Chains A and B, each alone.
Chain A
């Protein structure tokens, strides 16, 4: 048995974490080095896999398969298709920059890195697992380490409450989805959790309509919780406010997309008829997400709350894109997921950078920081513009595709979504004005700009965001190869 690049990129962080168990806790440099090496392996291999993915051949590539529990149809089966390749690339970006940002953690460094690396492995594993059992396995592995990460290294008065709420909400969602997954196993009738096998079976005979009718909403709500589907979004701003910077980065950037990914794979991909039944409701919820969370973001005084609500509001575009179930919108959704992952991580990283020095995130304590930290402030303004959907950044392409896709099917919601963009632009401009421009707030007197290697994670994320924004063809064709079979099954069943 030889492990391919996908297995290695997924296991590297977990192995790094295991290695860290045996490192004395005062060897900070060594701990940083191990964390960074593990994340770099994942990052480089995710680029390699993305680059080497054969778009012409499509399908699942770089497949590793080992029988695990044959009697239950569980196999260790990993590989990538166009969707996974792009999302792995995004996770690679975020994992690498997240580990770089984590170096500013001063307290109990060893334990932090152990939990953080396990979290990364869980995220990567979910995106590359081709066995539904392992998709769930990795998903849960990614959800739970967040508890100690926020509980121990987080900040704020409501930390304990926020941590518990976040973990319980996400686990509740996960178990609802598990009911649907267990049902799926028996409804598909092929006695396996193997995703390609089930996809094949579903192509031949679609799942029973009765089953799809009850199972899809369970999946949608279950994985929707992590996608901050309204009204289950309240854990998110609170949790992000409490979380340490690098955890908010990964959570807003990657973990939310795990939910969307699972909905696309298992919901749209395997239960298209059930999805078609429920998606009109989801489209309305998407509109609520965009407008309601956007307006709430307007009223927030804590910067992390603003970003948290902003990210909830952006999830509305993903939900709307999923609801359309058309090629344009679905490809746009995945494009937007990629761009939003980089953008959200960058936003949280920059706020965290300044917070580490000022120890306040209140809007009233910030102001005029552009004078003190020009590099960070320029990046922050660019992030805000990306968030508001300025052309040139990846978000714009994704949003355009989603809106154009939604125009035919959900015209009212599409109009509301455009309004949501205006709201986003509003609070982002307000935030930029209140933080980076105007007279210098005294709390920023001692601010120091990012130097040397500190700049690397920010530059990396921004470069990715601009690259896909200016040249969408870097990732779009790969996404299209991944969504094609799913769209075929959708049109086949409707």
Chain B
């Protein structure tokens, strides 16, 4: 067992656990109240949304601006499972977790499926045109949801059980970031980045650009769908109008303010800008105007994003790591050549 390697790989997870325990401690000790926890949970959901948007816009270089549409599909999908297929607030305790997870899964799948449907024709469009189509998609989903009576139409869906806890959200955020990090540093991730940096060259070098664009799009849609499900079970109430272009633009702002093409940037951008409006609450009616000024200032002076497009160590995989000792060294296994030999 390679203890040094274990420490290096596991420390991010340890930090997440520590954050959780610290938060619970502060909560029990009366220093934090439920409101702060809720802000943290929203930050977590926003991190998931921003990171998944970053996969498509930041890493694959596309212009998708209707991400809230996928969130709404996931939110409604999950809510339908927990309140309409199963018995909502009356689900027995033992069944709650499986039903919740099923709901999230269904929400994610619905979002991904619609993503594929939209992606196939649209991802052939370039730049601004793709942006417009994705904007329209978000609004059309909203318009359709407003018309469907059984799920509450424009008034929305109430009575969604409160299954989203801090633990669940931290778990999903960590999982999302871990999986996305692995994806970026894999043949798929490299294909996405190639498409972003020079699509024609990528095509000529054998990359089926449409296939990879749709793959990125569907993965992002799935994650957004799951985040939507978590959102629905946090608020206990959802309505179509909360998923308008305004919400999509929130995620775009988080993404670019944090740094396009950087997962760390998504974490920082989403977390900071979710917390900022709450911190500014003391300004009452000046709150949004001040937030707007902060945003413009950040974009003017840190145009590459708050983290400058770079990644913190735990969000990146260096080439040299391929040659390091694995976690579990098999008895008698050959030692792979070290990074220095190359």
Bound pair: A and B? no
B-to-A contact residues, CB < 8 Å: none
